[in-house]
Chain A
Amino acid sequence: MSLDIDSHIRHSTRHIGRSVPRREDQGPLTGRGRYVADIKIVGMLEVVFVRSIEAHARIVSIDTSEALAVEGVQAVFTAADLADVKTFPDYIPYIGPVKQRPLAEDRVRYVGAPYAAVVAVDRYIAEDAAALVAAGTTYEPLPTVADLDQALAPGAPTLHDHWESNYSFDVATHKPEVDHAFEQADHTFSETYVSQRQTGLPMETRGVVADITDGTLTVWSSTQSPHMVRSTVALMLDMPEPQVRVIHPTIGGGFGTKTHIYPEDIVVPWIARLLDQPARWIEDRMENLVASVHAREQRHDVEVAYDDDGTIRGVRCASTLDMGSGEIFMPGTAPVFVTNACVTGGYDFPNMQARTIGVVTNKTPSGAYRGFGIPEGAFVMERIIDRVARLTGTDRADLRLRMLLQPGQTPYVMHGGGRLDSGSHTESFEQGLEMTQPALERALARYADDPDVRVGVGYCNYVEPTSPSYHLTTGHWGGGDAATVRVDPDGSVRVAAGLSSFGQGAETVAAQLAADALGVSPENVTVVLGDTERAPYGLGSWGSRGAMMLTGSVLLASERLMDKARAIAAHMLEAAEADIVLTDGAFHVAGSDQPSVSWAEVGTAAWIRYVDLPDGMEPGLETSGYFHPENLQHQLDDTGKINAAASWSNGAHIGVVSVRVSTGEVRIEDYIVVHDCGTVINPALVEGQVHGGVAQGIAGAMYEHFQYDPDTANPRFASFMDYLVPTCAEVPRMEVDHFESPAPEQPLGVKGCGEGGTVGPPAVVAGAVSDALSEWGVDLTECPVTPVAVRAAIRSAEAAGAGAGS
């Protein structure tokens, strides 16, 4: 696909496709960035939330008198005070409605649930008073459910009184052809695979600052979706949307956790409005670990039918999501649907029958985390393939090559309706295998003399839906985004987009796009993101959508602006519009670069010197584009299928690991990524997304795990001492290579790349460790692959009488 946006624009330098340095760097590098916690307003009060220490209880009473007596405390609010605030909407019709109130009323369902808010002149005093409110709270504990088995046991205590059970939803498909495959196949097996509870864990916690001035409520929020916060705040506080302005300043990461709209996003603005004083809440890390969404906790009960030659004939997969209490807006229900939709990865495998289940438990609500269900599904498929390869004596890589989509096989409709528009599924894996060979040889040589170490290889071939529908996730919003492009009288370009950015470099990308679309230098482009007052409505950054949404919306707006600019320039040059070309920022008649008209002259004519405009032309030089991918579906079709993504990236991950048998220590010797996200706008940014995604994937594969006490549903974590975030010493060096298969139906062929990195590592590490320990017959079915888990697997294999022993 050509990167020529407009054949009438000639550049001596093109910016799309180049690693243009980031314009976002200067602030954070010099300490002059502005994050939410850096905002200070005269008279600003500090809010601290009081959170449940019980996993499941009735709140009998809350004595706030001692807290109110502390000098500097301005107010203590509980649910009763917020009667005028509307309930969070339940937009999705097929899941259990949770009727979430901004503060818990008489019932708490997880440790960390907010039930009171203390307002004081400083944070220290507010925390003192919050401790007094906590001490003044009387609970009547209720029986807890700490996991899926407990939640689904007969007679289990239910979390939501208006539900009959703890099921939020249970959506099953039935495919006769899968039944047929099971009847015909040589063999079958059943297995349960488990994905553990993790979270996105941005280095910046959440935070909200709110201030009401002249009737406008301004909310600074560390959110990934400022317009959605605006709509929800306006709805719940009963204000007209134009009177609510939501700004995200610089954001210190989000990774999905900040796509949700939390109680604090509503309560802090409500406090500022009620007290007519600015108010601020900054989440601390302890509360972040229990009060920001968790993710990834799923159980997969699978049945597999296969033949002696390794052919997998059919799979039935029941995926059950542990939703925590479910009290989060938007609900955290969608990832498990994505798991099932994407479970077959880059493989040509239609015979998948999926059942998708959501269950509530007395834990932190689960929600979005980078990858959004894809890693969980990839883990299942790759573990199945490895098992079948082992059972049938088939080479694991060969079996994958037999199953992968071949060149020319796209567009390909997956079992659930996902339409893989393009990709390099086989090519990426073959390239990865080639890169793996020297890595494997190095590792084998390194440990040749160490009888305690085994070496193994793990594989994952995934697909990554990009720019997805948000309707399935929210039951409300769609999947488009808008940009406004303006050329000012001095010729400067301003791009304002509804998209947001929390570290990806979207501002740099927007400037690259506008620069090439308008024939200017990126330095001449000012980019405005993340402010509902200055940018058009957009859904923000999530779902690997930023690159495509910016490309679509900025190019659409720019094309409209160019049409008008060309008409103005033609008039000024007394030439026909069709003859006007733009070379390095100057309009002129094709064939001669003199005389010429600059962007500043066109901008001045449009805004100021109307005398230079063609007769009857409407003044101004500002256009908007609302981009919505045409092929994006928001609702299931008649057959229950949906293509809920505008395009699909793909990749192959391969890891070489060493395992020390005596200790269970796993070391990733080499990690190889071959990645295809279509047309690349900025290679350095794409590579950065891959690096960060893989590191988070490794975190899930080997380290991070939120564990709860099974008897009390109390968290067994309180800090970074218990929730193990990988450091530089744990993340291996990565080798990254790229293919570019442009999205055939999207502008410039851009797909998206935010999440793919997270997908491979759990499958790769479990596969590689199982391979390394194949002499014992170890076949890991869950993550994290810790030394304890590895030793347990070896011991249990030895107890079963297999293997060489050690």
Chain B
Amino acid sequence: MTISEPISEVDVEVTINGRTRRHRVPARLLLSDYIRDTVGLTGTHLGCEHGYCGACTVIVDGDAVRSCLMLAVQADGGEVRTVEDLAPAGSDSLSPMQQAFHDNHALQCGFCTAGFLMTLESVDPGEWNEPERVVELLSGNLCRCTGYQNIVAAVTEAWSAYHGGGGSRDG
């Protein structure tokens, strides 16, 4: 076993959280490592790097994806959103869902939290308006600390307007 081929490099241009970035990266670089190490946004966490735990979930072109299962080059020309983009810019305030997580003690170690928040951010809450549906939505993300009790409570609270049949997403 030898490694003789040089690792090829590619140019990527990705808009992350509204800012367009250009980098030359190894073709094999994972999107997760690109976001964390190349761009320097470390709020996206790596819990398993085999696409199971959901900690590294980000939004690519509107869809929640596991950034550990995608190459950076696959996001070329795309638009990526990470947890750093959720809170209103330039203030200490939190998004309604972040606030609900805080108010409901829905995080302990916080390592999985970004993944949950991005999964939730990627959907239209109006389409997930029953308790069973919320459980189904969240079942793609592992949390080891909370037993999920308070995460469900936080989502229920944040989306209470939808679950009650009205209101706006930010309400």
A interface residue numbers (CB < 8 A to B) = 19, 21-22, 24-35, 37-38, 40, 66, 70, 123-124, 128, 131-132, 135, 201-205, 250-253, 255, 284-286, 502-505, 684-685, 687-688, 691-696, 719-721, 725, 727-729, 731, 733-734, 757
Could you tell me the distance in whole angstroms from the C-beta of A679 to the nearest C-beta in chain B? Answer: 19
A-B contacts besides A128-B3, A203-B145, A687-B105, 4 pairs, CB < 8 Å:
A504-B108, A692-B145, A696-B147, A729-B135
Alpha-carbon distance between A601 and B94 when the two chains are bound, in angstroms? 36
Indicate if the CB atoms of A201 and B138 lie closer than 8 Å.
no
Alpha-carbon distance between A729 and B132 when the two chains are bound, in angstroms? 9
Indicate if the CB atoms of A29 and B110 lie closer than 8 Å.
yes
Indicate if the CB atoms of A27 and B152 lie closer than 8 Å.
no
Could you tell me the distance in whole angstroms from the C-beta of A492 to the nearest C-beta in chain B? Answer: 19
B78 touches A (CB below 8 Å):
no
Could you tell me the distance in whole angstroms from the C-beta of B100 to the nearest C-beta in chain A? Answer: 10
Chain B residues within an 8 Å CB radius of A728: 135, 138-139, 141, 143, 148, 151-152
Among B46-54, B59-67, B122-130, B160-168, the stretch that binds chain A is: B46-54
Could you tell me the distance in whole angstroms from the C-beta of A8 to the nearest C-beta in chain B? Answer: 33
Q: Known contacts being A692-B108, A695-B148, is A25 close to B101, with CB within 8 Å?
A: yes
Chain B residues within an 8 Å CB radius of A729: 135-136, 139
Indicate if the CB atoms of A30 and B87 lie closer than 8 Å.
yes
Q: Which residue of B lies closest to A200 (CB)?
A: B144
Q: Known contacts being A251-B109, A505-B108, is A203 close to B42, with CB within 8 Å?
A: no
Please report which residues of chain B, range 33-63, place their CB below 8 angstroms from some CB of chain A when the two chains form the complex.
Answer: 33, 36-37, 40-50, 52-53, 55
B86 touches A (CB below 8 Å):
yes
Indicate if the CB atoms of A692 and B147 lie closer than 8 Å.
yes
Could you pull out 7 A-B pairs where Cβ atoms are within 8 angstroms?
Answer: A35-B42, A37-B45, A203-B145, A285-B50, A285-B53, A695-B144, A696-B144
Q: Which residue of B lies closest to A503 (CB)?
A: B109
Chain A residues within an 8 Å CB radius of B112: 203, 252
Could you tell me the distance in whole angstroms from the C-beta of A325 to the nearest C-beta in chain B? Answer: 25
Chain A residues within an 8 Å CB radius of B151: 728
B20 touches A (CB below 8 Å):
no
Alpha-carbon distance between A660 and B121 when the two chains are bound, in angstroms? 37
Alpha-carbon distance between A719 and B51 when the two chains are bound, in angstroms? 10
Q: Which residue of A lies closest to B118 (CB)?
A: A31
Q: Which residue of B lies closest to A128 (CB)?
A: B3
Q: Which residue of B lies closest to A32 (CB)?
A: B43
Chain A residues within an 8 Å CB radius of B141: 727-728
Q: Which residue of B lies closest to A284 (CB)?
A: B49
Interface magnitude class on chain B: 35 or more
B14 touches A (CB below 8 Å):
no
B149 touches A (CB below 8 Å):
yes
Residue from B28, B29, B84, B148 within 8 A of A31 (CB atoms): B84
Chain A residues within an 8 Å CB radius of B43: 30-33
Alpha-carbon distance between A128 and B3 when the two chains are bound, in angstroms? 8
Residue from A29, A131, A285 within 8 A of B47 (CB atoms): A285
Q: Known contacts being A728-B148, A729-B139, A731-B148, is A27 close to B110, with CB within 8 Å?
A: yes
Indicate if the CB atoms of A719 and B139 lie closer than 8 Å.
no
Chain A residues within an 8 Å CB radius of B143: 203, 728
Chain B residues within an 8 Å CB radius of A30: 43, 83-84, 86-87, 94, 98
Indicate if the CB atoms of B146 and A691 lie closer than 8 Å.
yes
Chain A residues within an 8 Å CB radius of B26: 124
Alpha-carbon distance between A253 and B82 when the two chains are bound, in angstroms? 22
Indicate if the CB atoms of A685 and B110 lie closer than 8 Å.
no
The 10 closest A-B pairs by CB, nearest first: A31-B43, A28-B110, A252-B111, A503-B109, A695-B147, A691-B147, A503-B108, A31-B83, A38-B42, A720-B52
Residue from A24, A123, A727 within 8 A of B110 (CB atoms): A24
Indicate if the CB atoms of B1 and A131 lie closer than 8 Å.
yes
Indicate if the CB atoms of B102 and A31 lie closer than 8 Å.
no
Could you tell me the distance in whole angstroms from the C-beta of B122 to the nearest C-beta in chain A? Answer: 16
Indicate if the CB atoms of A34 and B42 lie closer than 8 Å.
yes
Could you tell me the distance in whole angstroms from the C-beta of B51 to the nearest C-beta in chain A? Answer: 9
Q: Which residue of B lies closest to A203 (CB)?
A: B111
B69 touches A (CB below 8 Å):
no
Residue from B2, B84, B87, B111 within 8 A of A66 (CB atoms): B2
Chain A residues within an 8 Å CB radius of B145: 203, 253, 503, 688, 692
Chain B residues within an 8 Å CB radius of A720: 48, 50, 52-53, 142
Chain B residues within an 8 Å CB radius of A131: 1
Chain A residues within an 8 Å CB radius of B28: 124
Indicate if the CB atoms of A725 and B144 lie closer than 8 Å.
yes
Q: Known contacts being A29-B117, A30-B83, A284-B49, is A203 close to B107, with CB within 8 Å?
A: no
Alpha-carbon distance between A40 and B37 when the two chains are bound, in angstroms? 9
Chain A residues within an 8 Å CB radius of B152: 728
Indicate if the CB atoms of A685 and B147 lie closer than 8 Å.
no
B31 touches A (CB below 8 Å):
no
Indicate if the CB atoms of B146 and A204 lie closer than 8 Å.
no
B103 touches A (CB below 8 Å):
yes
B114 touches A (CB below 8 Å):
yes
**Which residue, of A124, A693, A694, A757, has the highest number of chain B Cβ atoms within 10 A?**
A124
Could you tell me the distance in whole angstroms from the C-beta of A396 to the nearest C-beta in chain B? Answer: 26
Indicate if the CB atoms of B102 and A37 lie closer than 8 Å.
no
Chain A residues within an 8 Å CB radius of B98: 29-30
Indicate if the CB atoms of B144 and A255 lie closer than 8 Å.
yes
Chain A residues within an 8 Å CB radius of B2: 66, 132
Chain A residues within an 8 Å CB radius of B135: 728-729
Could you tell me the distance in whole angstroms from the C-beta of B55 to the nearest C-beta in chain A? Answer: 6
B15 touches A (CB below 8 Å):
no
Chain A residues within an 8 Å CB radius of B42: 31, 34-35, 37-38
Alpha-carbon distance between A203 and B140 when the two chains are bound, in angstroms? 14
Alpha-carbon distance between A203 and B152 when the two chains are bound, in angstroms? 19
Chain B residues within an 8 Å CB radius of A255: 144
Chain A residues within an 8 Å CB radius of B149: 691, 731, 733-734
Indicate if the CB atoms of A202 and B109 lie closer than 8 Å.
yes
Could you tell me the distance in whole angstroms from the C-beta of B123 to the nearest C-beta in chain A? Answer: 15
Indicate if the CB atoms of B46 and A37 lie closer than 8 Å.
yes
Chain A residues within an 8 Å CB radius of B105: 19, 22, 684-685, 687-688
Alpha-carbon distance between A721 and B53 when the two chains are bound, in angstroms? 10
Chain B residues within an 8 Å CB radius of A727: 138-142, 148
Could you tell me the distance in whole angstroms from the C-beta of A463 to the nearest C-beta in chain B? Answer: 21
Alpha-carbon distance between A792 and B43 when the two chains are bound, in angstroms? 46
Could you tell me the distance in whole angstroms from the C-beta of A49 to the nearest C-beta in chain B? Answer: 16
Q: Known contacts being A31-B44, A38-B42, is A25 close to B110, with CB within 8 Å?
A: yes
Chain B residues within an 8 Å CB radius of A503: 108-110, 145
Q: Known contacts being A28-B111, A720-B50, A725-B142, is A734 close to B147, with CB within 8 Å?
A: yes
Could you tell me the distance in whole angstroms from the C-beta of B98 to the nearest C-beta in chain A? Answer: 5
Alpha-carbon distance between A106 and B101 when the two chains are bound, in angstroms? 51
Alpha-carbon distance between A733 and B48 when the two chains are bound, in angstroms? 26
**Which residue, of A21, A252, A285, A725, has the highest number of chain B Cβ atoms within 10 A?**
A252
Alpha-carbon distance between A692 and B140 when the two chains are bound, in angstroms? 18
Q: Which residue of A lies closest to B143 (CB)?
A: A203
Indicate if the CB atoms of A204 and B84 lie closer than 8 Å.
no
Chain A residues within an 8 Å CB radius of B46: 37
Indicate if the CB atoms of B113 and A253 lie closer than 8 Å.
no
Indicate if the CB atoms of A21 and B102 lie closer than 8 Å.
yes
Alpha-carbon distance between A503 and B48 when the two chains are bound, in angstroms? 19
Alpha-carbon distance between A757 and B108 when the two chains are bound, in angstroms? 15
**Which residue, of A33, A124, A286, A734, has the highest number of chain B Cβ atoms within 10 A?**
A33
Alpha-carbon distance between A513 and B140 when the two chains are bound, in angstroms? 38
Could you tell me the distance in whole angstroms from the C-beta of A344 to the nearest C-beta in chain B? Answer: 27
**Which residue, of B28, B47, B82, B148, has the highest number of chain A Cβ atoms within 10 A?**
B148
**Which residue, of A32, A40, A201, A688, has the highest number of chain B Cβ atoms within 10 A?**
A688
Indicate if the CB atoms of B3 and A204 lie closer than 8 Å.
no
Residue from A26, A31, A124 within 8 A of B114 (CB atoms): A31
Indicate if the CB atoms of A203 and B102 lie closer than 8 Å.
no
Q: Known contacts being A30-B87, A503-B108, A720-B53, is A201 close to B114, with CB within 8 Å?
A: no
Chain B residues within an 8 Å CB radius of A128: 3
Alpha-carbon distance between A102 and B100 when the two chains are bound, in angstroms? 45
Indicate if the CB atoms of B111 and A35 lie closer than 8 Å.
yes
